[in-house]
């Protein structure tokens, strides 16, 4: 193997010379382009994108570092955002509290004890304004981790952007907005399965028309994996879910090239290093084939598997938590070797609590060390051509595709989710995993081997701020008392009517939140029309 | 003797139920009759379900950190339905310093994340055999 010395589309890329004086090429591969491995994996930035979706990958620009954060009120969260940006975060990943995620206002009876607990409390546009005060939405891309309540929260983000003078047509960012996986893991569903998919469709259609640079959906294999799925199922179910959304919006008249390049994915990174890297490489190739060959996409960007590969929560342990810093570093390495676009790491204390500032900074530094010190950005797909990795890549691709076919044959992903079949399957696997840990078949350092007696664990717990919760409710009441209620009600009526008529609810939702309708009110209007999901528990 | 009936419940808004489901499967394998509420049940709904199903014990799974509020509520709701002595257990993301207030609130057992399944089964048996337990 020798270097091919390709440098993308001729952009000037930074030169890399090793301590030993060896110049490093952007990408390496076999001299003979007819080499069978080379033919199968292709070049970076070229179909089928096994080696990465861009020709020069991180040599041109390192991955986006986007730690998940948010707690208390919007003011508290704004301070943490600024801290993270100041420390070198290049994206924001917003955590909302559970009432917000479930579409409840902070003073709802069911919100008691939960306001601001696991994320930031948002009731109205004013909270979103506070959260992003002083943050340039052009300079930093914001990812909204919102699913069940994606309509009001995305509407607020667009309303906020408009109010601050950004052109929606230029607005970048991502919403998680993957409701189907919420029925498998994470659980912040609100509406029944079918209208839930329709609402995701509304956001995709709205963005295709008004905010073409915004990514309206980040399809999550992540939470499916955390719920017990193996890496093959993680990818297969995510691809099937993405296909369900794609089929839905195509059914409503959108062309594949009108939205596919804005679909993004969220995958997990715990597990065995080479298996994980192969999962991403094989998955990238399979997705490219699906989009080009099955959907007939013409735009090569439509076939890009853009992703955040991060987290790794399922691999962390509550025992000897400092070991999680080391695990996080290996997980970050997996993510970098896999050619991710964005990375976020679970912090070492995250098995217990909302990360402390220190823990969040260690996660960020872990990624920065890979970028600045370890040379992970120098060369594209450094494991390409490895016999092990190429063999695993082929096998992962084959198995993911087989799992997709099997699931389709068994009734399809949407039906199997609605029936609770997938949930039961991954839960049984999670149980088996626990039994394997108990029996020692699956080794976890500090859990079933290399244990120590721990008298007290050196982890600082994030305190619950009751005062913040009270302040949030007071603020909400004040907004309710001072807003133009005629305008709010008219907008909510229109929202209800649009939902009843099967029209896209996004325009009315944006008007409603601009008039300071709350997350709870917008959700209630939609619930009036669509009803509520009734969980089907199976084992 | 019929097997002990245990209700595994997810109170509050926390949607993470891998742990609850795994515990359900482990208890079932250990011979318990297990009923699982599914997500996002209010303490009032859980108490009503416990009464209707005539369970011997309730196990709550809470990962969000809202366990103190939710356990206090469950206790009140059980009392309202004339079930003040029905034993309940709480598991999940529970810091060591909350064990005492939870026990003071009436928890028959507290089992934080990472408690081995074997231990969970053992504790459930002990609770059911205790004077407060439904299986005497």
Q: Over the stretch A313-365, which tens digit does the pLDDT of each residue have?
A: 999 999 999 999 999 999 999 999 999 999 999 999 987 888 888 999 999 99
Q: Across residues B74-94, what is the average pLDDT?
A: 97
- A205-240 pLDDT, tens per residue? 999 999 999 999 999 999 999 999 999 999 999 999
What pLDDT was estimated at residue A2?
42
Phi (first) and psi of residue A118, to 5 degrees: -100, 10
**Domain of residue A480, residue span:** 471-530
Check: CB of residue A270 under 8 Å from CB of residue A328: no
A522 lies in some domain:
yes
Taking CB atoms and an 8 Å limit, are A464 and B65 in contact across chains?
yes
d(CA A76, CA A50): 41
- Those of residues 86-125 in B touching chain A at CB distance below 8 A are 93, 95-96, 112-114, 116-118
Taking CB atoms and an 8 Å limit, are A317 and B114 in contact across chains?
yes
What pLDDT was estimated at residue A459?
62
Choose the closest CB to B64 out of A104, A117, A226.
Answer: A117
Taking CB atoms and an 8 Å limit, are A431 and B113 in contact across chains?
no
Is pLDDT at B65 greater than 70 in this prediction? yes
A119 lies in some domain:
no
Of A221, A218, A223, nearest to A232 by C-alpha is A221
Contact status of B32 with chain A (Cβ, < 8 Å): no
What pLDDT was estimated at residue A457?
61
Please give the full DSSP string across A274-305, using - where no structure is assigned.
HHHHHHHHHHHHHHHHIIIIIT---SGGGG--
What pLDDT was estimated at residue A463?
83
Taking CB atoms and an 8 Å limit, are A434 and B64 in contact across chains?
no
Chain A hits for B17, Cβ within 8 Å: 187
Output the six-digit token pair for A364.
């960020």
Check: CB of residue A202 under 8 Å from CB of residue A175: no
Q: Across residues A179-200, what is the average pLDDT?
A: 97
pTM for the model stands at: 0.96
Is pLDDT at B92 greater than 90 in this prediction? yes
Chain-centre distance for alpha carbon A473:
29
> Chain A residue closest to B40 (CA)?
A187
End-to-end CA distance of chain B: 11
What pairs with residue B58 in β-bridges? B7, B88
Check: CB of residue B46 under 8 Å from CB of residue B88: no
Choose the closest CB to B42 out of A110, A117, A317.
Answer: A110
Min Cα separation B21/chain A (Å): 6
Cα distances (angstroms) measured from residue A135 to each of A79, A125, A327, A502, B26: 11, 16, 32, 36, 48
Output the six-digit token pair for A190.
């609100």
- A41-76 pLDDT, tens per residue? 999 999 999 999 999 999 999 999 998 888 899 999
What pLDDT was estimated at residue B132?
65
Residue B1 DSSP SS3: coil
State the Cα angle at B98 between B95 and B104, rounded to 5°: 155
Min Cα separation A428/chain B (Å): 7
Q: Across residues A421-431, what is the average pLDDT?
A: 97
Is pLDDT at B69 greater than 50 in this prediction? yes
A513 lies in some domain:
yes
- Predicted ipTM of the assembly: 0.95
Taking CB atoms and an 8 Å limit, are B22 and A118 in contact across chains?
no
Residues 6+ apart with CB under 8 A from A272: none
What pLDDT was estimated at residue B31?
97
**Residue A403: count of CB within 10 angstroms of its CB:** 20
- A8-37 pLDDT, tens per residue? 455 689 999 999 999 999 999 988 878 899
Q: Which one is predicted more confidently, B96 or A521?
A: A521
Radius of gyration of chain A (CA): 23
> Chain B residue closest to A424 (CA)?
B21
Output the six-digit token pair for A377.
């950005």
Residue A35 DSSP SS3: coil
Residues 6+ apart with CB under 8 A from A346: A310, A311, A312, A313, A316, A324, A328, A363
User: Prior bond to A48 cis, omega within 30?
Assistant: yes
d(CA A401, CA A91): 32
Q: Across residues A470-485, what is the average pLDDT?
A: 97
Taking CB atoms and an 8 Å limit, are B40 and A187 in contact across chains?
yes
Could you give the strand order of the β-sheet that contains A342-343, starting from the edge strand earlier in sequence?
Answer: A64-65, A342-343, A307-310, A263-268, A217-220
Q: Identify the band that residue A126 occupies on the pLDDT scale cut at 50, 70 and 90.
A: very high
Radius of gyration of chain B (CA): 13
What pLDDT was estimated at residue A5?
46
Buried b (16+ CB within 10 A) or exposed e, A8-29: beeeeeeeeeeeeeeeebbbbb
Phi (first) and psi of residue B92, to 5 degrees: 135, -155
CATH of domain B5-129: 3.40.50.280
- A507-526 pLDDT, tens per residue? 999 999 999 999 999 999 99
What pLDDT was estimated at residue A3?
46
d(CA A345, CA A89): 12
Is pLDDT at A91 greater than 70 in this prediction? yes
d(CA A158, CA A510): 7
Phi (first) and psi of residue B74, to 5 degrees: -60, -40
Is pLDDT at A101 greater than 60 in this prediction? yes
Taking CB atoms and an 8 Å limit, are B65 and A186 in contact across chains?
no
The percentage of chain B sitting over the pLDDT mark of 70, rounded to a whole number, equals: 95
What pLDDT was estimated at residue A458?
56
Of A449, A502, A365, A487, nearest to A88 by C-alpha is A365
Taking CB atoms and an 8 Å limit, are A447 and B113 in contact across chains?
no
> Mean pLDDT score of chain A, rounded to an integer?
95
**Taking the domains of chain B in order of start, what are their residue ranges?**
5-129
Structural domain count, chain A: 1
A269 by Cβ neighbours in 10 Å (0-12 / 13-18 / 19+) ranks as: buried
């Amino acid at each position: 193997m020798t270097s091919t010395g390709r440098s993308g589309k001729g952009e000037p890329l930074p030169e890399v010379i090793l301590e030993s004086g060896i110049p490093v090429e952007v990408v390496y591969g076999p001299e003979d382009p007819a080499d069978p491995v080379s033919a199968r994996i292709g070049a970076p930035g070229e179909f089928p994108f096994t080696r990465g979706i861009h020709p020069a990958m991180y040599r041109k620009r390192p991955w986006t570092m986007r730690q998940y954060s948010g707690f208390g009120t919007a003011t508290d969260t704004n301070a943490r955002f600024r801290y993270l940006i100041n420390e070198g975060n290049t994206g924001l990943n917003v955590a909302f509290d559970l009432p917000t995620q479930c579409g409840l206002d902070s003073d709802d009876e069911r919100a008691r004890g939960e306001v601001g607990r696991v994320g930031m409390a948002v009731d109205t546009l004013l909270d979103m304004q506070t959260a992003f005060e002083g943050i340039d939405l052009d300079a930093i891309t914001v990812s909204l981790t919102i699913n069940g309540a994606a309509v009001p929260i995305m509407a607020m983000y667009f309303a906020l952007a408009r109010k601050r003078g950004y052109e929606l047509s230029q607005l970048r960012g991502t919403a998680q907005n993957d409701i189907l996986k919420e029925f498998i893991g994470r659980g912040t569903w609100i509406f029944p399965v079918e209208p839930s998919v329709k609402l995701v469709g509304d956001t995709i259609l709205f963005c295709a028309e008004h905010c073409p640079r915004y990514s309206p959906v980040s399809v999550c294999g992540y939470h499916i994996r955390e719920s017990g799925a193996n890496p093959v199922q993680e990818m297969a179910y995510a691809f099937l879910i993405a296909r369900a959304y794609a089929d839905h919006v195509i059914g409503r008249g959108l062309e594949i090239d009108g939205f596919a390049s804005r679909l993004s994915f969220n995958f997990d990174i715990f597990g065995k290093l080479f298996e994980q890297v192969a999962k991403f490489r094989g998955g990238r190739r399979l997705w490219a084939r699906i989009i080009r060959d099955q959907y007939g996409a013409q735009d090569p960007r439509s076939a890009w598997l853009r992703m955040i590969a991060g987290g790794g929560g399922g691999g962390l342990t509550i025992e000897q938590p400092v070991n999680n810093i080391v695990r996080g570093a290996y997980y970050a390495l997996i993510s970098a070797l896999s050619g991710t676009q964005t990375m976020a790491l679970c912090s070492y204390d995250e098995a217990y609590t909302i990360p402390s500032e220190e823990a969040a900074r260690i996660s960020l530094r872990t990624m920065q060390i890979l970028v600045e010190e370890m040379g992970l950005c120098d060369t594209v797909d450094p494991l390409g051509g490895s016999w092990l990795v190429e063999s695993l890549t082929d096998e992962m691709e084959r198995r993911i595709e087989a799992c997709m076919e099997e699931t389709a044959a068994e009734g399809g992903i949407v039906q199997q989710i609605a029936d609770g079949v997938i949930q039961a399957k991954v839960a049984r696997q999670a149980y088996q995993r626990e039994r394997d840990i108990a029996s020692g078949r699956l080794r976890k350092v500090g859990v079933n081997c290399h244990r120590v007696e721990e008298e007290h664990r050196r982890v600082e717990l994030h305190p619950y701020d009751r005062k913040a919760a009270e302040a949030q409710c007071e603020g909400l009441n004040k907004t309710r008392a001072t807003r133009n209620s005629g305008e709010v009600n008219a907008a909510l009526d229109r929202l209800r009517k649009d939902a009843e008529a099967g029209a896209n609810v996004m325009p009315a939702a944006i008007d409603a939140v601009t008039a300071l309708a709350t997350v709870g009110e917008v959700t209630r209007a939609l619930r009036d029309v669509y009803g509520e999901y009734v969980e089907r528990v199976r084992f | 003797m019929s097997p002990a009936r245990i209700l595994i419940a997810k109170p509050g808004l926390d949607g993470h139920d891998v742990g609850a489901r795994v515990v359900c499967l482990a208890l079932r394998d250990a011979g318990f009759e297990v009923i699982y509420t599914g997500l996002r049940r209010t303490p009032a709904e859980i108490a009503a379900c416990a009464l209707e199903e005539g369970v011997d014990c309730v196990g709550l799974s809470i990962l969000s950190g809202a366990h103190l509020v939710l356990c206090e509520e469950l206790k009140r709701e059980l009392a309202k339905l004339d079930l003040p002595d029905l034993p309940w257990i709480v598991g999940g993301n529970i810091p060591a310093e909350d064990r005492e207030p939870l026990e003071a609130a009436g928890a028959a057992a507290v089992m934080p994340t990472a408690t081995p399944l074997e231990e969970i089964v053992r504790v459930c048996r002990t609770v059911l055999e205790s004077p407060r337990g439904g299986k005497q």
